[in-house]
């Protein structure tokens, strides 16, 4: 199996992108922080449907972690990641050292309002500045036709769509559906932190979400449903940051059933913070 080319510098990646374009290929970028799982791989497969040349970036971005968060503990396994990507026939992997992205004297932050307000920002005020800055850099470095992000991090996807539109970055942004374990738990690199007992308990998150959207969809009062869902999670041992119904595009609070609405949740189980969301729009099958 021939592995993907690995680029550590923007210049090397751009050269490869230029060559692909000159050969008439479209280029797709899938930004990740590595520790790849089936959720990431589904994004890579989706990227392939849109482009003949697929690049995956792997960079654990320090600026989206607060000093108290898990930057050092965040799982890193580039050998396993590269094997998985080779199996999918990815052309290139961008794995820059931190100094390539943040050279000495780096002093810029991309600051986003609108969909970045509330939810994640209430407990992680640093987060979207870090994400927007690194994603802007990755998009400008790779200059892809299309970039794909998971709907699992739904607020992040809305924030990226917003600043890409606001800054006229000429890249089409696509969202890929959340991939779930058999019991409904959304796949996440951080699920590796869960012990056996916590892993079992974690399935309560998609259960509460699913029940909430079913009940709101059936016309029950959203505030009651969400309060009961929060209580169930708390009884199950979670510290709930939020369980809220929001407009699917602007993320403004909404209080009634609408095909445009989503329920979003963030809750901590021990030291592991889980986030997830589901849409009130009817799915083709399974979880929404
Ligand atoms: O979702 C992620 O893995 C990260 O937030 C991203 C988009 C790669 C930026 O570091």
Active site residue 40: yes
Q: How far apart are CA 244 and CA 222, in angstroms?
A: 9
Quick: pLDDT tens for 5-17: 999 999 999 999 9
Residue 146 has pLDDT above 90, yes or no: yes
Instruction: Give 5-176's CATH code, choosing from 3.40.50.620, 3.50.50.60, 3.30.565.10, 3.30.300.30.
Output: 3.40.50.620
Count CB-CB contacts under 10 A for residue 222: 21
Domain boundaries, the chain: 5-176, 189-279
Distance 224 CA to ligand 1 centre (A): 33
Average pLDDT, the chain: 96
Same fold, 5-176 and 189-279: no
For residue 67, name the pLDDT band (cuts at 50, 70, 90). very high
Residue 44 has pLDDT above 70, yes or no: yes
Q: How far apart are CA 213 and CA 210, in angstroms?
A: 5
Q: Which of 37, 40, 50, 53 is catalytic?
A: 40
Q: pTM of the predicted model, to two decimals?
A: 0.97
Distance 156 CA to ligand 1 centre (A): 8
Nearest in space to 124 (alpha carbons), one of 275, 269, 277: 275
**Ligand 1 pocket, 61 CB below 6 A?**
yes
- What top-level class would CATH report for the domain 189-279? alpha beta
**Ligand 1 pocket, 131 CB below 6 A?**
yes
């Amino acid at each position: 199996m021939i592995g993907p080319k690995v680029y550590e510098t923007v210049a090397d990646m751009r050269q490869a992108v230029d060559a692909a374009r000159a050969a008439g290929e479209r280029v797709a970028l899938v930004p990740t922080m590595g520790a790849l799982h089936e959720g990431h791989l589904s994004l890579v497969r989706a990227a392939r449907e849109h482009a003949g040349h697929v690049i995956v970036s792997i960079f654990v971005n320090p600026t989206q972690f607060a000093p108290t968060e898990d930057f050092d503990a965040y799982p890193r396994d580039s050998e396993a990641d590269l094997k998985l990507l080779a199996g999918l026939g990815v052309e290139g992997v961008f794995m820059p050292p931190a100094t390539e992205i943040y050279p000495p004297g780096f002093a810029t932050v991309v600051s986003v309002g609108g969909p970045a307000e509330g939810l994640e920002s209430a407990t992680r005020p640093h987060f979207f500045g870090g994400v927007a800055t690194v994603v802007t850099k990755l998009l400008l470095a790779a200059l892809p036709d299309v970039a794909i992000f998971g709907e699992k991090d739904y607020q992040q996807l809305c924030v990226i769509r917003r600043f890409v539109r606001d800054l006229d970055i000429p890249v089409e942004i696509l969202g890929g559906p959340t991939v779930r374990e058999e019991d409904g738990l959304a796949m996440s690199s951080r699920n590796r932190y869960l012990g056996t007992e916590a892993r079992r308990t974690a399935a309560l998150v998609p259960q509460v979400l699913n029940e909430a959207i079913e009940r709101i969809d059936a016309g029950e009062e959203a505030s009651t449903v969400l309060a009961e869902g929060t209580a169930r999670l708390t009884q199950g041992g979670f510290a709930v940051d939020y369980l809220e119904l929001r407009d699917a595009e602007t993320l403004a609070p909404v209080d009634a059933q609408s095909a445009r609405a989503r329920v979003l949740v963030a809750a901590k189980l021990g030291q592991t913070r889980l986030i997830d969301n589901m849409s009130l729009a009817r799915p083709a099958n399974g979880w929404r």
